[in-house]
Amino acid sequence: MTADSARPLRADARRNRDQILAAARRVFGALGPDVPMEEIARQAGVGVGTLYRRFPDRTSLILAVAQESFTQVLAGARAAVAEEASAWNTLVRLLHTSGELRLGIQLTILSPLAARAIEQDPETTRFQRDLLAILDEVVRAAQTEGTLRPDVGTGDVAALLSLLLRPMHAVPDTTARQVSERATALLLDCLRAPSRSPLPGTPLTVEQLKPGVGRDSGPRSGGS
């Protein structure tokens, strides 16, 4: 929980908080979550003291950014389910995700501090759980309608999406966007039914992606 979340804010305090969050999102997205807090305050146009009054430490700021990002992603996913005419169209819309989910993934990849904070935060964990539940619903519905190949699981789709959203370092923004668009199109082409070649093993579940699951279960077969 951040310093401000337990009580309503005055207009000026709310404005300062919004400016800090907007600056943190920009800085975290460009430089990672370990950037000096002074730089975030500078880009937000507030004093360092104001930043620390709103967010007493780096962890509280990281969590606020992550919660805001996942809230927007979850709202977008629910809107896709409600508005799209088919499960496949919903899946396409989810995979053409906004930068919000990319930022959440970057935070966990680029900083052990951010990864621990997000993993241990009940609110962020709830957002992630709800988002995966929606993805699971969409995957199953697309397979029922015959548009998604039947030999993939929600864990496969989640893992591929996570790989797709990983940051590309030392690449111009225009090139990175083109790579993302092309990779998404290739991914969708591979997921579309009918499948063109068999996959090794069995469909992955979300549970299998959790840290430590299956670590000591011994060797597995890679397929038939």
Q: Where are the domains of the chain?
A: 13-56, 58-195
* Residue 8 confidence class, pLDDT cut points 50, 70, 90: low
pLDDT at position 53 is: 93
CA–CA dist 145, 222 (Å, integer): 28
* Residue 219 confidence class, pLDDT cut points 50, 70, 90: very low
58-195: CATH number: 1.10.357.10
Span 96-114, average pLDDT: 75
Alpha helices in the chain (DSSP H): 11-31, 37-44, 48-54, 58-83, 87-95, 99-110, 112-120, 122-144, 154-164, 173-191
pLDDT at 184 over 60: yes
pLDDT at position 107 is: 77
Domain 13-56 and domain 58-195, same fold? Reply is: no
Span 82-88, average pLDDT: 97
> At the top level of CATH, which class does the domain 13-56 belong to?
mainly alpha
* Residue 57 confidence class, pLDDT cut points 50, 70, 90: very high
